[in-house]
Amino acid sequence: MIEVIKSVDDLARQKYDLFVPTMGALHAGHQSLIKLAKEKSDQVLVSIFVNPLQFENKDDLAKYPKTLEADLKLAELAGAAAVFAPSYEDIYPGEITKIEAGAIGDLYEGKSRGDHFSGVLTVVKRLFDLTRPAAAIFGEKDFQQLFLIKQMVKQLNLPIEIIAAPIIREVDGLAMSSRNVRLDEAGRKSALIISKALNKDSISDMHEVLATEPGFTLDYLEVIDEETFLPATVNTKNKRAIIAGWVNGVRLLDNKRMGSSL
């Protein structure tokens, strides 16, 4: 059975090369992150901590799936050496010094979700301090999160390599997410409109596709410059379309690298 590290003191006695932070409810998307880590080292640590600081909505926090036993099995099968499952007090032992996410943290996800990114960066920095890895892996599905974590590591000069892992999709194209289990059958079908839209080559075609699905409520659709996270222009080298919205009240996001057109 995989080693489960429950206290900060036990963690301090260990050293892991590769770190995969998660909030649990692990699925094939997480498994791909762990497998990628395992390709690079045998010393892979996965953390499971549902971070209240990054939930702007108490209901979303309460409904976040908690599946520790299944998570441990999945982490082990994917090749993790250990799982760090800290308590709230381990992560936030006293007064919390929040890390601000800056101007980009207020856009897109940040605009709809208040202090979300400050909560993410605060917990990731704390987890980095506790786990001291050489590298950490984050999925491209949360592309803005990935961008802001890279930015934080650069700004704070942390000696940690940030590795991006590609989005893992269901066979029908839906990006894997721990929230997908909350979709009912009709919602699951409606959610497919997001990846369908992302297969188009221009933002206007994407809008057209999204508008055909009454079960989907759009929050934002934008094409951004991957280097700055600001809206792309025709001259932008690496463009990425980012989409967020709701199906059945469940927030879903997805993104895809775009070609040269806008």
Please identify which residue in 5, 21, 78, 183 interacts with ligand PAF, judged by CB under 6 A: 21
The stretch near ligand PAF (CB under 6 A) out of 8-16, 118-126, 169-177, 195-203 is: 118-126
- Among residues 175, 207, 203, the alpha carbon closest in space to that of 259 is found at 203
**Of 124 and 253, CB closest to ligand PAF:** 124
Handedness of CA 100, 101, 103, 106 (dihedral sign): negative
The stretch near ligand PAF (CB under 6 A) out of 16-24, 87-95, 185-193, 205-213 is: 16-24
Is there binding between residue 124 and ligand PAF (CB under 6 A)?
A: yes
**Of 121 and 210, CB closest to ligand PAF:** 121
CB 203, min distance to ligand PAF, A: 26
Is there binding between residue 31 and ligand PAF (CB under 6 A)?
A: no
Site string for ligand PAF, 36-65 (x = CB under 6 A): ---------------x--x-----------
CB 94, min distance to ligand PAF, A: 19
* Pair 163, 55: CB distance under 8 Å: no
Locate tokens 């775009």: which residue?
258
- Among residues 245, 224, 226, 229, the alpha carbon closest in space to that of 105 is found at 229
CB 127, min distance to ligand PAF, A: 7
Please identify which residue in 18, 22, 109, 182 interacts with ligand PAF, judged by CB under 6 A: 22
**Of 32 and 54, CB closest to ligand PAF:** 54
Amino acid at 1: M
Cα–Cα distance for residue pair 150/72, rounded to 1 Å: 28
Query: Half-sphere exposure (CA, 13 Å, Cβ side) for 120?
Result: 27
Site string for ligand PAF, 140-169 (x = CB under 6 A): --x--x------------------------
**Cα angle 73-183-241, degrees, rounded to a multiple of 5:** 90
Establish whether 27 is a catalytic residue: no
State the alpha helices, DSSP H only, in 113-172. Answer: 116-131, 143-155
- Count residues binding ligand PAF (CB under 6 A): 10
- Among residues 10, 44, 56, 43, the alpha carbon closest in space to that of 251 is found at 56
Instruction: Describe the strand order of the beta sheet including 161-165 as a list of residue ranges.
Output: 3-5, 82-84, 44-48, 18-22, 135-139, 161-165
CB 246, min distance to ligand PAF, A: 19
**Of 136 and 193, CB closest to ligand PAF:** 136
DSSP code of residue 90: H
Chain contacts with ligand PAF (rule: CB under 6 A): 21-23, 51, 54, 120, 123-124, 142, 145
Q: Which residues are catalytic?
A: 30
